[in-house]
Structure 1
Amino acid sequence: MLNWTTLCKHIDEADKIQKMSTAIIENDLKEAVQPMFPNFSITLHPFGSRFLGTARSNSDLDIYIKCYAEFIELNTKSVMVSKTLSNISMGIRNSSKWLFLNQFLCGCPIVVARHISTGIQVDISFINEMSYKQNVLLKYMFEIQPIARYMAIYLHQWIKITNISNTSQNFPGYLLNLLVIFFLQSSGNLPSVRKLQENLIPNTGPWISDFNFYKLSKFSMQKIELTAKTLKECLKSFFTFYSDFDFGNYVISPYLGMQIRQSEFINHMPLAFRLRRNKKYWEVSMIVQDLIYLTMNKSCVSKASTLSFKHYCQKYKNTLII
């Protein structure tokens, strides 16, 4: 398991990766793809672990390409999505600066390519701005409460060691990030997304994807000191929190930033949620609400994995060593 010294080395590595310029990759990607969209000037936005400061040296680079002038709620069966995927793939194939690796239409459509001069694998998405905007918010959370990033990096390693029922699928990094954020919100150390969106109006279809980036003092909160002792205390509290969490009856909602019953949840949601909610959203063992697209559940965790997660939280809250 990670100790404090090893964790700090991982943090330093992640910091260096985060500070690395991606300008060459972005320029070469735009050069390859722009000709496929002659009627619109595309824009590129890096996101993912390299953007957030949680990456390792072998981490991929995620880039969102804005190909449409306005937000459009698309699905993988849309002809427009299929055509866009083909256009981006063709642009990559036609460029001598890129090696095309694969493309995926299901789930979140992406094109996977390797930038030849840097050797970095790039996952290219385009369907909407949600992932990028969510990462902007997460990065802000990590910056105003830095211990959140330390916890996330520790837990990314912890989930691999515990091997909770094929964790690479059940507990990806972004899900652990949301669990950390919600825990810190519930303990009064981070503001809710709703508070950060006060007085803002929908700007991405029916959803608000902008935020007021206030300092913690705005919410009468303070930064938690970054030491081995405080990290251990926060992690123990995290494990205690989720070992006792009633996943069957409560929602993990960073939007609200507090524990709330599923039966009462809808009463606290904006109108867009009520009009678009899907019953399938609730038919899972763990509900982790998306930061922006409020009708989306970010969790794909099985009942067995949820129970296993709670078991390991119970175990590590009593045996954690930093």
Structure 2
Amino acid sequence: MGHGNVWEKFLLDVKEADRLKSLSNERVINDLKEGLSVKNIDSTIYEFGSRIVGVANSNSDLDLYVDIANINFISILQPETVRSNHNKIFSAIKWNYSKWAIVDNLSSVSCPIIIAKHKSTGLMCDISSSSPMAVYQNFLVIYLFEIQPIARYMVIYVRAWLKKHGLDGFRSHIIILMVIFFLQIRGKLPAIKKLQDGLSPNLYPFTMHFVNYDLAHFNMSEIPINKKECSDVLFDFFKYYSTFNFSQVAVCCYIGMEKTFKERRFCLPDRFQDTLSHEAADVMIYDFINVAENIAASINGLQLNDLQTKMAQQLQSTFF
């Protein structure tokens, strides 16, 4: 395939992600609500995940968050409540078997998930109710993609590249954090803490809301989206992470600067100090909001070496 065709293929991937983002999931949500209502479960349902932020492909699941009694956006649930709510939702979906086929019930994990297929649309859905964190994360990601659109293009490219090279373990949220951190380092996106200056935690200790400043507020500008700019920024991204010291330097979008594992502690709000881990890992990539959580802790040194080796190899070729 010629390089021109690679660019055209990539634009088709972006177009497909746009299409999936624009699709209405009203039928899916209504059918979930139907079962919940019959079981007398008062709830609000939120969509989130790769389809909603605009980086999905046709194989991507639809993520749904069920806020039972509309209280979970203002309080952290106790484990017994999490289990109870999960069981209620499972019972409602199982009851509505004409609309849903349950594929798996991951009830024993810390954030339980029901994997179910919506029969009329064929959509695979991951349904959860334990924490609104991912929904708030999506609000933030969508905002960052809107003010610096090339970030979304980069995530789409890197997701496909990882799949092509069989690099498992680097899920979408990790890729998004890596892309946004890189753009922060290059002065193209602000640190998350700058978007939350003066805001109080709304789900203690977490501050989940933010101020929607435009790039001009930070004396930053939008990167044009064209073949050359995308190729150049991806080359820089791959070069940056191919030699990045993941075991010493934390990828932390909240700070938006390179800090060692130890230095990072002193850049975070006091309210997180008691929850921070004192142990480093092979890869340290921290969440936007739950800044104490290393979401890449399960990635080992062999996986990291494979990633960085293949990134270095990619630099020997053109991207488009």
TM-score range relative to shorter protein: over 0.9
Contact 1:46 1:62 in 2 (8 A): yes
Aligned twin of 1:142: 145
CA offset at residue 214 of structure 1? Answer: 1.2
| Residues 1:320 and 2:307 are matched in the alignment | no
- Give the alignment partner of residue 28 of structure 2, picking from 25, 28, 33: 25
2:7 is the counterpart of 1:9? no
> Which residues in structure 2 correspond to 1:81-160 (within 5 Å)?
81-95=82-96, 96-105=98-107, 106-160=109-163
1:65 aligns with 2:63: no
1:178 matched residue in structure 2: 177
Contact 1:273 1:295 in 2 (8 A): yes
Alpha-carbon contact 1:72-1:128 (below 8 Å) kept: no
Deviation at 1:209, TM superposition (A): 0.4
Q: Secondary structure, in 3 states, of the residue corresponding to 2:315? A: helix
Q: Does residue 1:212 correspond to 2:211, yes or no?
A: yes
Q: How many residues align?
A: 312
Q: CA deviation at 1:283?
A: 3.4
Contact (CA 8 Å) 1:237, 1:317: kept in 2 or not?
no
Q: Which residue of 2 aligns with 1:240?
A: 239
The one-letter code matched in structure 2 to 1:83 is S
Give, in whole Å, the separation in 1 of the partners of 2:138 and 2:299. Answer: 21
> 1:263-278 maps to which residues of 2 (within 5 A)?
263-278=262-277
RMSD between aligned residues? 1.7
**Stretch deviating more after TM superposition (300-309 or 127-136):** 300-309
Gaps of 5+ in 2: none
- 8 Å Cα contact 1:37-1:67 kept in structure 2: no
Helix, strand or coil: the match of 1:252?
strand
- Give the share of equivalent positions with the same residue, in percent: 33
Cα distance in 1 for partners of 2:37, 2:292 equals 33
Distance (whole Å) between structure 2 residues aligned to residue 321 and residue 243 of structure 1: 15
Contact 2:261/2:280, CA 8 A, preserved across alignment: no
What residue number does 1:304 align with?
A: 302
For 1:288, the equivalent position in structure 2 comes to 285
Deviations 1:67-124 (A, max 9, x none): 251444457xx22222221111100011132222221021421111111221111110
Secondary structure at 1:278 match in 2 = coil
| Unaligned residue ranges in structure 1 (runs of 5+) | none
Residue 196 of structure 1 corresponds to which residue in structure 2? 195
Measure the CA separation in 1 of the matches of 2:101 and 2:310: 41
Compute the TM-score of the two structures, normalised by the length of structure 1: 0.92
